[in-house]
Amino acid sequence: MEPLEQIQRRWPEIAAHLADARPGRTWGLTQTPARTLRVGEINITSCYDREREASVQASRIPEDSEEAWVYGIALGDIQRALLSRLALKRLHVVIMSSAVARKALEVVEHPWLDDPRVTVHFGAEVGVHEPFTCAPACVWTAERSCQPLRDRLLGALAAPMIRAFEAKQQVAIEQAIAANAERLAVDPDVETLVGRHNGADFYVVAAGPTFDEVADWLKSRVSGAIVIAVNSSVLPLLHKGIVPNYVVAVDPAEALVEHFGGLGSTDALTDVPLVYPPGLHPRVLKAWPGTFVKTNLTVPVYRDLCPNDPKGQLFVSGTVTHAAVDLAVVMGAGRVYLVAADFCFPSARSHARAASSSAAVSGPKMFTIDGMGRSVSSTLNLVGYRDELARYVTGVSGVEFLRVGRRGAVIEGIDFVEGAP
């Protein structure tokens, strides 16, 4: 029986997805030591030794596991490797793209489809289950409806590296807390800002590339509202003649000092508070010309190192933009406008042109969807931060979230302002 007929017989709802699939990419079989399917510009498996590759990928599942999840069907090599294990009783195989799966089912035989231990799922309908492995190229080519799952999978695969990075940061944060002790003893706590601007409109301004497109719109709107800048957007805002009401910086890296290095005349900032965690680099604190408010952060390293002081804490999961949004909520925002929080690289740039960290972007990246429905380059980290923000927003009640900068990545649950760029 043909693979597509096997699918139709056992999982008719999956067959319906496959029937709707539109190719949309170029396809072909490679002329290589091991033939594989080429999807657009990438190979779906090894083109030298598929069996050896599948054995590496299957090794992510413990030998004695009775159940396993495989994300991406590829050419069936991982499934074959896992089903050869006597201990395995249930194998869940997840389609990440109907078009890729359909083509893969057409070009080679898939005897694993007959195995009673197998269940096939569609990626838009399942989450990340352990233990899992994946056919990585199928994850990278996930169709739009499966991209939330793709992002969670990539996050799970990167978790060990993130943990190692956080451990490295801990040493720098410990040193900074000791160096900042004098200031921390006298600066007000973020708790003192709770409800400070109840019901106000807030503009939380990041320094994504769309800043340059939305700055004029922003300038016409900020009068009477509260503007919160992140460290990298202070300079672009000042260039446009907009003085923020609050600035937030959380990253312990010394390099942040560059964001405050070219401020020029700083008279306008004298009364502007920098909201900072105890582990901010002392040179960054020294470079800030305004006042200071200390805050704790919802990250493990601060829970361990200074659990009780500062008392107030802001949400952070990878980016200062999270803390800036949470600060608006803490201060009583009725509406929060996210400005230039792009989480991607429109025009292949990293930041707004006036930001000190602005640079052309090249090299390996992943793709997501922008506010106009187009594909745009991003990175695993940025997409992860975007999704963390979307999760945070779903947990906040009584605040309306909107955004501007349509060439930024779509954030689930946050609409763009009608008529704004």
Partner 1 sequence: MSERLLEQIQATVRHFRLGELSMGFEVMISFVDGVQRYLEVEGDAEKTMSFGPVLSMILEAQQRGDFLLVADLLEYEVTKLVRQ
Nearest to partner 1 of 295, 377 (CB atom): 377
Q: Which of 126, 123, 83 is nearest to 101 (CA)?
A: 123
Supply the minimum distance, in Å, between the C-beta of residue 65 and partner 1: 16
Contact pick of 7, 18, 37, 47 for partner 1 (by CB under 8 A): 47
366 is an interface residue for partner 1 by CB under 8 A: yes
Nearest to partner 1 of 162, 372 (CB atom): 162
Supply the minimum distance, in Å, between the C-beta of residue 44 and partner 1: 8
100 is an interface residue for partner 1 by CB under 8 A: no
Q: Within 10 A of 22 (CB to CB), how many other CB atoms are there?
A: 9
Contact pick of 57, 79, 233, 296 for partner 1 (by CB under 8 A): 57
Supply the minimum distance, in Å, between the C-beta of residue 128 and partner 1: 12
330 is an interface residue for partner 1 by CB under 8 A: no
63 is an interface residue for partner 1 by CB under 8 A: no
Nearest to partner 1 of 137, 331 (CB atom): 137
Nearest to partner 1 of 140, 401 (CB atom): 140
Total binding residues toward partner 1, as defined by CB under 8 A: 32
173 is an interface residue for partner 1 by CB under 8 A: no
Contact pick of 16, 42, 181, 194 for partner 1 (by CB under 8 A): 42
185 is an interface residue for partner 1 by CB under 8 A: no
149 within 8 A of 95, measured Cβ to Cβ? no
- Pull the structure tokens for residue 22: 């539109």
Radius of gyration of the chain (CA): 25
C-alpha to C-alpha distance for 46 and 30, rounded to whole angstroms: 10
C-alpha to C-alpha distance for 354 and 350, rounded to whole angstroms: 11
369 is an interface residue for partner 1 by CB under 8 A: no
385 within 8 A of 319, measured Cβ to Cβ? yes
Supply the minimum distance, in Å, between the C-beta of residue 305 and partner 1: 25
154 is an interface residue for partner 1 by CB under 8 A: yes
45 is an interface residue for partner 1 by CB under 8 A: yes
Q: State in Å, rounded, how far the first CA of the chain is from the last one.
A: 53
Between 294 and 323, how does the x/- string for binding to partner 1 read (CB under 8 A)? ------------------------------
C-alpha to C-alpha distance for 74 and 72, rounded to whole angstroms: 6
C-alpha to C-alpha distance for 240 and 213, rounded to whole angstroms: 12
Contact pick of 46, 79, 313, 368 for partner 1 (by CB under 8 A): 46
3-state secondary structure of 223: coil
Please enumerate in sequence order all residues whose Cβ is within 8 A of that of 326, keeping only pairs 6 or more positions apart, or say none: 314, 315, 316, 392
C-alpha to C-alpha distance for 80 and 78, rounded to whole angstroms: 5
3-state secondary structure of 161: helix
Contact pick of 20, 28, 48, 66 for partner 1 (by CB under 8 A): 48
Applying CB under 8 A, which part among 9-17, 18-26, 52-60, 389-397 lies near partner 1? 52-60
The answer to whether the Cα torsion of 339, 343, 345, 346 is positive or negative is: negative
Q: Within 10 A of 256 (CB to CB), how many other CB atoms are there?
A: 25
Supply the minimum distance, in Å, between the C-beta of residue 151 and partner 1: 12
158 is an interface residue for partner 1 by CB under 8 A: yes
Contact pick of 6, 133, 319, 378 for partner 1 (by CB under 8 A): 133
At residue 298, what are phi and psi to the nearest 5 degrees? -85, 55
For the chain, how are helix, strand and coil distributed in percent, rounded to 5? 40, 20, 40
The answer to whether the Cα torsion of 184, 187, 188, 191 is positive or negative is: negative
Applying CB under 8 A, which part among 18-26, 289-297, 363-371, 399-407 lies near partner 1? 363-371
60 is an interface residue for partner 1 by CB under 8 A: yes
414 is an interface residue for partner 1 by CB under 8 A: no
Residue 26 gets which letter from DSSP?
Answer: -
Q: Which residues bind partner 1 (CB under 8 A)?
A: 33, 41-49, 53, 56-57, 60, 133-134, 136-137, 139-140, 153-154, 157-158, 160-161, 362-366, 380
